[in-house]
Every structure is written in structure tokens, then in C-alpha cells.
Chains A and B, each alone.
Chain A
Amino acid sequence: MPAYDDDLPTDEEEALLRRLTDNTEREERFRALIEFKNLILGSKRCKSAFFRVGTLDMLYNLLKEYSLPIDSDILIQIFDCISSFAKSTNKNLTQRLIELGFIEQILLVLIDDQQSKLFYESALRCLRSFFLSKKFANPYLSPIPFILLCDQNKFEPKSSSIIIDKSPSSYKLSPVEILFSNSQSLDILHRLLSISKSTQISVLEILCCACVDNQRQQEIMGKDFIPMIMHLLIENIFYHKRIHLVTLANEYLIEVCLKFLCSISYENPSIAQQLYSTISSETNQSLCEIVASLLKKINRSMIISYYASKFFVNLCKTKVLSCDDPYVSHQSLASLIHLCAKSNQNQCIYLYIECLDTLIYLLNGNSSLHHTAIYTEQLLSQLFNYLFTPSKIFGENLDETAIIQIRSSALTLLAVLSSHHEDIKKRIAEQENLITTAIECYRSSNLSLQIASLRLFHGLSRSVHQLRTTFNDTICDILLDAIKSSDLALVKIVSSVVSNSVLEFSICRTRLLSGGILDILLTFLTHSDQELSINSIWALRNLSYLSTLKIKQDILNGLTIERIYSLLEQCTDKQFLICLLSLLRNLFNEKDTEILLPMFNSTKLLSTLERLLKKNYPGEIHREVNFLIDYLHSNNHPTQKRLSSDSATSSCRSSLFPEYDCDEMDQLDCS
């Protein structure tokens, strides 16, 4: 905490405050406000000191006093002061601003449509300050601070206690919630878009922050902002045919427009579709064409390149564009890779981090783009640089947090790239120092690096070759350590790695078993986290495949017959059930059936399975059940030929994440 946080106003500053409160003469107050503003603008100490003596309450009273009727000159000064306070990183201060009701009061005065341009610009700048991130990562990116989307808290869970009671101790509404609680807010913002470039920027930044979930996105979409956004984009892009040069009259405004398009389309298929279908009435171009034209410009700013690319990524992830659409595969992907690869010292590292994260988002689940992404080695080479020697790229004085973030994003992207194609896995795994570095990242004290390293191991574990070669004792020990972590996110990822690493051909298997992995997996079966419990039954299933009798008995002893029956009868999770049925099929491998089946009471098992058939489960479960029933029948009647297991093997092959088709795993014969 800075030393000045304890400061109180000086005598002169106290005298100024008295002039504001005691003196009711308008001109004197106006002058005092200007002096007050000149003190606090650019000074964290002053803001902190004034806050400690309750100045915010005084400002709120002044705001109310001069709102009815509106005294625009005085209000402009008050707005500028509040805007400065709202930029503070002091959480108590900003919370107090919200508690007092400044946002509501500003929205109230904005209803008046008879005021000057300066009035609206000042009010909106003030409002914007409530929404924008206080700590943004943009020291070098652009001369005017540009708030990256990664600095905003996107799609965070809403506060569990939304209390309308406005008493200070319980007021917990966020600025976004306050904005939407006023039914006129969006109409007011829409009306103010046409005032000036400054109001356009402020309104769009507020709307970007307001796109916190699908519901809010829909509400904003419903107010017809898109035609205006398109008009702003067209108005600000000039194309000089003669000199083949495009100039951007207002780059900042274009950047904010693009950021808004990204925010509103994020994870929202219906809005993404609407945007895709939108045509400009001015130029007859689609919105995609307009955005794509920005990607073709020479001398375009990095922010424009990034957000234009991200827009198409969002359309792809919402399935509006396929991943082989040229907007995605040729333009967006190429731009993002180019941005990542052209890092310079003193450029904003956080934009590179956001580029990497966007590539992770795009390439995760779109394996058909992986080969395109690494076609020129440019991306891979830069990722290795980011991972191994980030300070050589960004300088020695880089913030430690930034270094960790870029390393973890680079490692995660490598993990995504190595999650599918065998040749890419091989290329990545064979990079000198990569596995050592990944191990070192796990051993660091930073959670994001640990998770990133485990993700890499998970990607590599989806390869038979890698399980046979790369997963040495050191990695096994890491898995055994990570599975005991208290961090759930970490445990979930490592459980995915373990579920592949316990396969019969994995060199890790023995060490994991001797390290007690079976007991750990058994305890996870009843974990409250659904993904973890599915991973653990998956792992048990894989463990049982082509396993020795001893291991199968250990599984059964740990699981217990009663529990298996209980799960078969009562489990409603379809993925869990499929894995359990596959586990049983693996257990009843021909040579072990005579020993294991009597533990079950085959009649009871048969009747349980037949009851399962009567339930309304998906075809895959019925196929597994039928296979088992068939097996039990044939076991009781050895002369009967078993049915082909082809239909059942698909479930053996399918991955936990349906979008990943693991070529190597498909070769396993699970019959």
C-alpha cells in the first residue's frame, strides 16, 4: 500500500473543501471546483486524502443540487472530478462512489436532451470511468490508453448476493447491473452516439463492458446499435484508389467499434449470426466484408488487426463461420500469427498475450487449422522464444506477472497444437528443452504455469508414441504430485493426463500404480465435480483395458460390487455410465471372466442390465448394455457366438471431449 494512502488533506486543501461546502455562492463554488479538479487530476495522493475526509459525499450532494435545474458548467466540473475518482485503484473509494449512487444520478441528468456537446462528453467520460478496468495492461500499446478486452472481466459469475437495499454496508450491485436496472439507459446511450466522436467512444466502451453475458448482449442488440456502428466504420475508412493507401480518420474509434463487435458476438451464436447477415445500406457491403477490409490495410494498427481477427474467431467459435472459411483460415489466423510473431521490445506484451489466448480459443477444437497455423514454423518458433527467453524479446525490465502470463499462454498454445495430429505432437515434443522447460514450469510456484505444463502433457498423452517415449519417471512423479493438489482446476487437468497415462502401453503405468493412483482415482469417483468423477471412471476404464487379473481385482475391490450395482441402477450421468459399462466389458476379458464374473452373481447382473435397456438412454448406452448382455449369455452358453463388438468399440475410442478425434487412440482395438 502506498504511503500516501494514509495522508489527509493539507491545510490549504481543507480550506478549499470548506469553500466548496460552506460557500453557497455559485461563482465561488465554480472557482473552487476548478481548483479542486486541478488538484486531484493526475494525483493519487490528493484523491486518497480527499476520500478519507468524506469528499465524495460532498460531491454527490453538489451533483444533486446542480442537477435540478441543470447547471451544465458546474456539472461539467463535477463530472470531471468524479471521473478522476472513478479511475482510482482504491477499491474502497470506487465502492463508495457506487454506493452513493453516482451512476444513477448521471444517467438521470443524461435524460435531458437540451444540453451542450461538452456536457454530454464530460458526463459520458465520467460514466465510462466507472466501467473501465482500473488496472489495465497498456503501457506501450498506444499513446491513448486502450483497454484491451482481456482487462475486462468477461463472463464472470454474477455476484451471488445482488441486494437491492441501498444501505452502504449491503450495496453490492456492479456498474453493469446498475446500468441495466434503469430501463432507459440503453436508449440514452443510443441517443448520445450521434453527438460527437468523444461520445461515440465513451458509449461504445461502456457497451463493451456491459456485454457480460448472453442476456445483456441480447438487450444491447435489441436497441439497434449495429447500423450506427457500421456507419462509424464506413465513415472512418477512406480508400484512396490513386495511391492505394487507406487512411483511418479515427483509428481509436475504429478500434473501439471492433472491440464492441467482438464483445457483443462473444459466445452468442444468435447475435453472431445476425452480425454475419448484416448488410450496410450505405455501401451494400456485409459487416464481414467491412471488417475484412481492415485486415487488408497496410500500416494498420495492431489493435485493429487484432480485433478484426478476433471478430472472425468469435463467428467461428459460434459456428457461424466454419474454420475453413477464408475469413478465418486465411485472414484471421494469418493476422493473429503475424501479430504474435512480430513482437518488438516496448510493444504491449499484454496484446501478445491476448493474441495467444485468442489463438488458443480458436485452435482448441478446430484441429483442421493446426497444420495451417504451423505451416511456416513462424508461430512455433515464436512460441518457443516466448517460453524459453521472453526477456530477450521484451527486455529485461519486464514485469514478472507479464512474463509468467506470456510463458503460460505460449505453453498452453503449444499444448493445444500438440493435442491432435501426431506429426505436430512429434515436432513439438522433440523441440530441444521443451519437456525440461515444461517440467520446470510445473515445479514453479505459479499456478498458471503449472496448469499450462499439465495441459502440454495432456496433449502429448493423446499419442501412443508419446506415452511410450516421453512420459518418463519425472513426468510420472509430477502427475502423482499434481493429482494430490488442493487446486481443483489443476487436479482436473492432471486426471485427464492420468486417464491416458494408465493405458497398457504407457511407460508411466507401473510407476503410477505403485504410486497409489488407483486409490486416488477411486476417491474421485464420488467427487462433487462432475468432470473429475468422469475422468476418474474413464481412467479406471483405461486401466482395466488389457490389464492383468491382479489389477482388475484391485479395481473391483476398490470399487466394490455393491457400488457398481448402485451406480448402474442410479447413475444418471450418461458419460459416467458409458465408461462404467466399458469398464465392465474390459473386466470381463475372456481369460478373466471365470474368476471375476462369479463375484457379480451373473443373474443379478443380467437383470440389472436388462432393466437399463428399458430406460430411455441414448443408443450408445444401449449398445454397451447389449454387448454385455450378449457376453453374459454367451458365457452362460459357450456355444453361442458372441456378437460383433464393432458397435461398442466406438465408445472405447471416443474421447472425453467429443470435438477431439484422437487418431492414435482410434487404432486401439478394444474388442
Chain B
Amino acid sequence: MHAHFAPPLQAAVAAVMALSNTSSASSTSESHALTPIHQTATKSEWMEAIEQQHLERSALNRLIINYLITEGFKEAAEKFAEEAGMPLNDIDLTSVEERLKIREAIENGKIQEAIDFINKKSPELLDQNRQLAFHLKQQHLIELIRSNLIDEALTYAQIHLAEFAEDELKMRQELEKTMALLVFDKPLESPYGYLMQLSHRQQVANEINSALLIDQNEQSESDLSMLVRMVTYMQDKLDNKSLRYPKLIDIATGKLDDC
């Protein structure tokens, strides 16, 4: 799938590079406080240059499908594909569904269930990636603390997490923070309360999803997120050269800065 999305990626890059090349500043010049700010193009010129980049609808659709598949939104991907008239023949939807199940289990706090699914799908993953195994078990410990099962939590930490603390300093520090939650009456309001936030479950779920994709030799990141990162990178480069250009200030809405 990765090869199919090269054109949109290229187009996004082309748009930015085309505009930076119209700048009168040397491409090798370093940004300097006394260097005059150069205008690359007006907003209308910029928009015109973007319009000239031909992006097929099918390419945009593939971009969206890629995002939905990578993130594990199987039903959304199927629906979108149906509406866009795109076949999903070369995509392993079973694999997508499995990843979605794992994500849902983690985001619902059912970590042991998630571990079961992970071991079924990728039996070598937790042996090969110690950090992943630790984060899953840490999350289970957090869920036990959340449910106020203190004795179970202590036993679980002793039996299943102590070995990680022994092996690596960073994991020991993480475990200490997690265990510290037990000390507080309201762990959510403690300095380590972020561990109890639902966003922490999402963080673990994202980490697992990424690892599963890599393990299956698939892209670990959707083309769309790579494009967004690339735009941010390009804009930073232009900013460093003190170039004025219609900066994309809101990715969600596509709002450009006036320049």
C-alpha cells in the first residue's frame, strides 16, 4: 500500500518546494537576525501554485482509506470504500479487525484480554519488545488501582512487574511512579494522576497498534500523519530562513495565514 501513496506525498512536498524555490533568498543561506525577510509569494500566488498541483480524487481517497486502515477503523474503511467505489481486495481486513479488537480492549481497560489477543496475533511481540510487555502490565496494574483492588495490585506488581524493575532503570522509575498512586486517596489528582487518565490507555493502545503494524511488516504510521509531519517540517525550514509565506496555521480546517 505504501507505494500507492507516493504521488500525494510528492505533491505536498512539491507545493512547498515550488514556493520556496521562488524565493529570492539563497537556498543555502542561514537565518540571521539582520537578514531581510523575503516574501516567497502572496497568498493568492501560493493558492494558485497549489491549485496547479494535480491531485486525483482517487489519491485523496486512498489517503483516507490508508489512515482508516492503519488506525484500525475497519468499519469506517469499509463504508468509505463502498461510497468511494474503491476495492479493498489487497487489504487484510481480518488483520485490521484484530488490531481494532486489541485497541478497544486496551481503551476499555481490559488489558488481560488485550494480552490474549496480542499473543494470538503476534506471539513473539512481547518477548521481543520488553518495553511493550512492561507498558501493558503497567496498564493492568493501573486498572487494578483504579478499581481499588489494592491487595491484588500489590500482588500483581510483585509477581509480574518486579522483574522489569530489576532489568532496567527506566522501567523501575515508571513502576515506582505507578506504585506511588497507591499512596494517594485520590490518585487521579496526584502528581502521577496522568497515568490514571484515559489518555494513558490510548497512549498504550497506540504504542501496541504501531508495534503490531511493524511486526506484520506494514506501515506503522498512516500516510496522512506522515504528510502532516512533513508539512510541519517544511514550514519550520521556511521559518528558519525567515521567509514569509501563507503558513498553514490550522491543519484541521486548512486555514492559511495571510502574508
Contact = CB atoms under 8 A, between A and B. Distances in A.
A and B from one complex:
yes
Interface stretch (A42-50, A354-362, A449-457): A42-50
Contacts of B7: 243
A63 to B, nearest CB: 16
B123 A37 contact: yes
A398 to B, nearest CB: 14
Interface string B211-226: 1001101001000000
A365 B92 CA distance: 52
A381 interface: no
A15 B214 CA distance: 36
Interface string B10-54: 100000000000000000000000000000000000000000000
Interface of A: 2-4, 10, 34, 37-38, 41-45, 80, 83-84, 87, 122, 125, 143-145, 197, 238, 240, 243, 245, 247, 249-253
Given A144-B215, A247-B2, A250-B217, A42 B167 contact: no
A145 B128 CA distance: 7
A3 B127 contact: no
A51 to B, nearest CB: 14
Contacts of B250: none
Given A42-B133, A143-B220, A87 B127 contact: yes
A144 B125 CA distance: 9
B220 A3 contact: no
A10 B116 CA distance: 20
B119 A37 contact: yes
B183 interface: no
- Most B CB atoms within 10 A — which of A10, A44, A87? A44
Contacts of A3: 162, 166
A87 B6 CA distance: 38
Contacts of A80: 119, 123
Interface string B110-139: 001001100100011011101011001100
B163 interface: yes
B251 interface: no
Contact of A45 (B2, B127, B163): B163
B106 to A, nearest CB: 15
A145 to B, nearest CB: 5
Given A4-B162, A243-B6, A38 B115 contact: yes
Interface size class of B (residues with CB under 8 A): 20 to 34
Contact of A245 (B6, B123, B167): B6
B3 interface: yes
A42 B126 contact: yes
A310 B215 CA distance: 26
27 contacts: A2-B163, A2-B167, A4-B163, A4-B166, A10-B159, A38-B115, A38-B116, A42-B126, A42-B130, A42-B133, A43-B163, A45-B159, A45-B162, A83-B124, A87-B124, A125-B123, A125-B124, A143-B211, A143-B214, A143-B220, A144-B214, A144-B215, A144-B217, A238-B3, A240-B3, A247-B3, A249-B3
Contacts of B130: 42
A41 B116 contact: no
A564 B57 CA distance: 91
Contacts of B10: 243
Contacts of A197: 217
B119 A247 contact: no
B54 to A, nearest CB: 14
Given A2-B163, A4-B163, A143-B214, A41 B127 contact: yes
Given A4-B163, A41-B126, A42-B136, 10 more contacts: A3-B162, A38-B115, A38-B119, A42-B132, A42-B133, A43-B163, A45-B163, A145-B128, A243-B6, A249-B3
Nearest to B124: A125
Nearest to A35: B116
Contacts of A34: 116, 119
Contacts of B211: 143
A303 B126 CA distance: 23
Nearest to B155: A10
A240 B6 contact: yes
Nearest to B160: A43
Interface in B65-103: none
B53 to A, nearest CB: 14
B75 to A, nearest CB: 25
Nearest to A37: B119
- Most A CB atoms within 10 A — which of B123, B130, B137, B160? B123
A556 to B, nearest CB: 64
A240 B217 CA distance: 20
Contacts of B115: 38
- Most A CB atoms within 10 A — which of B2, B127, B128, B220? B127
- The 4 A-B residue pairs whose C-beta atoms are closest, nearest first, are A42-B126, A42-B133, A80-B123, A143-B214
Interface in B129-153: 130, 132-133, 136-137
Contacts of B6: 240, 243, 245, 247
Nearest to B163: A45
A45 B2 CA distance: 40
Contacts of A87: 124, 127
A395 B127 CA distance: 26
Contacts of B137: 42
